[in-house]
Amino acid sequence: MLDACLASAARLNPAPLEVIVSVDGASPEVETAVLDHGYTLVSLPLAPGVSSARNAGAAKASGDILIFVDSDVEMPPDFLARAADAFARYPDAAAIIGSYDDAPAAVGLVSQYRNLLHHYTHQHGAAHANTFWAACGAIRRVVFCAVGGFDPNYAVPSVEDIELGYRLRRAANHIRLAPDWQVKHLKRWHFWDLFRTDLMQRALPWSRLIRRESRIDNDLNLSWRSRFSAGLVCVAFGALLLSVRWHAGLVVAVAALGLATTLNFFFYRFLATRQGLGFALLAMPLHWIYFLVGVTGFVLGMAVERTGSRRLTAPR
């Protein structure tokens, strides 16, 4: 994936002022690949973590606009042209975020579902975004420095870019979503990644941020539709468990899932148009799991945050 990412940077037209690759930890093979492309290398052999690595790369930059991408994405040739166009359309924006495209590289049900879910979510997000996104995000360097960059306490990739977005907004900076500014996600998802990533790297740390900020934005993964759907799936799961002794529970479960399906009809229709009706039907249970894990992580995170413990939700 990194080879594809580095190669795509070489095909950008117009070319970037500079390409800086921050290597979080000692990796001679990666460092050699970076230098072979003629890119600037920032090596952090002690592996301080994802936020520190991005901050170190930004400190090395000389351009007025910093564009962050993850190492598992591929940029189209017009990537920079579209970024420049987005800043021209939104001159008041301190930062711009984009989207994954609708043609994920990794095959398989789980990979296709998860990457298409991310694409669909960003395509229907609010134009005035509430968070930053480091997989495909641009920010004015003066603003990035003014807010202190990414929080170095986040060593493992999780919600460090969302946290940065909250601080940007708190400082009265505007973040814009440009849905047509896209990258291709190359990551292959496995079934258990849905639990590990969504619980430990998303829901738990994000619930800490929500409690700290005392607000839940009606946008992206936290939209009212997603929250209501998550509640319905939880009701269905609970009713299904109770149906062993309470026969009406099965009816309640079917009704709740039916309503949740109705709320997400346009997403399932989108999946069907991309991969067929059979794929959409198989993806629905994965979507229910996504909601269940999200609610579980949110409840646990809020409980741990309320008790003052940081063990489950510490960034590291």
225-277 pLDDT, tens per residue?
899 999 999 999 999 888 888 888 889 999 999 999 999 999 999 999 999 99
Beta strands in the chain (DSSP E): 20-24, 40-44, 65-69, 73-74, 93-100, 136-140, 174-185
Which pLDDT band holds residue 312 (cuts at 50, 70, 90)? very low
What pLDDT sits at residue 3? 95
Torsion of CA 140, 221, 4, 276, to 10 degrees: -140
Q: Which residues contact 126 (CB under 8 A, 6 or more apart)?
A: 177, 218, 219, 220
Pick 182 or 197 by higher pLDDT. 182
32 pLDDT higher than 90: yes
Among 188, 207, 239, the domain boundary falls at 188
Give the CA dihedral 187, 191, 196, 202, nearest 10 degrees.
60
**Reported pTM:** 0.89
Are residues 196 and 179 located together in one domain of the fold? no
Last residue of one domain, picked from the residues 188, 214, 249: 188
Q: Do 258 and 178 reside in the same domain of the chain?
A: no
Structure tokens at 310: 């940081």
Work out the widest C-alpha separation in the chain, in whole angstroms.
67
Q: Are residues 116 and 217 in the same domain?
A: no
Task: Note whether 69 and 26 are within 8 A (CB).
Answer: no
What pLDDT, on a 0 to 100 scale, did the predictor assign at position 316?
46
Position 127 confidence tier, pLDDT thresholds 50, 70, 90: very high
Instruction: Tell me, yes or no, whether 174 and 198 share the same domain.
Output: no
| pLDDT reported for residue 305 | 62
pLDDT (0 to 100) of residue 222? 76
Q: Across residues 77-102, what is the average pLDDT?
A: 97
Spatial separation of the C-alpha atoms in residues 9 and 40, rounded to whole Å: 12
The CATH number covering residue 111 comes to: 3.90.550.10
**pLDDT (mean) for 115-127:** 94
Structural domain containing residue 287: 190-316
Question: Is residue 150 scored above 90 in pLDDT?
Answer: yes
Q: Are residues 239 and 211 in the same domain?
A: yes
Closest CA to 300 of 155, 229, 200, 192: 200
Q: Are residues 172 and 237 in the same domain?
A: no
pLDDT higher than threshold 60 for residue 315: no
Average pLDDT, the chain: 91
Which of the pair, 217 or 233, is modelled with greater confidence?
233
pLDDT band at 308 (very low <50, low <70, confident <90, very high): low
What CA–CA distances, in Å, run from 274 to 144, 192, 280? Answer: 37, 24, 9
Per-residue confidence band for 281, with pLDDT thresholds at 50, 70 and 90 = very high
State the DSSP H helix or E strand holding residue 282, giving kind and residue range, or none if neither. helix 277-307
| pLDDT number for residue 273 | 96
Residue 216 has pLDDT above 80, yes or no: no
CA distance to 157, 158, 315, per residue, from 200 (Å): 10, 8, 9
Instruction: Give me the number of domains the chain comprises.
Output: 2
Q: By mean pLDDT, which of 66-75, 127-136, 137-146 is the weakest?
A: 127-136
CA distance 143 to 298: 31
pLDDT value at 46 more than 50: yes
Residues 281 and 176 reside in one and the same domain:
no
Instruction: Kindly state whether residues 94 and 199 are assigned to the same domain.
Output: no
Q: Find the mean pLDDT for residues 100-124.
A: 95
List residues bridging with 233 in a β-sheet. Answer: none
Looking at residue 215, its pLDDT comes to 72
Token representation of residue 119: 């694409």
Could you say which DSSP state residue 155 is in? -
Predicted pLDDT of residue 314: 44
| Proportion of the chain above pLDDT 70, given as a percent | 96
Lowest mean pLDDT among 148-162, 187-201, 223-237, 272-286: 187-201
How far is Cα 267 from Cα 221, in angstroms, rounded to an integer? 13
Sequence-distant (6+) residues with CB within 8 A of 50 are 24, 150, 154, 155, 156, 157, 160
Which of 127, 156, 188 is the C-terminal boundary of a domain?
188
Assess whether 154 and 246 both reside in one domain.
Answer: no
Per-residue tokens: 290: 């996504």
Whether 174 and 215 map to the same domain: the answer is: no
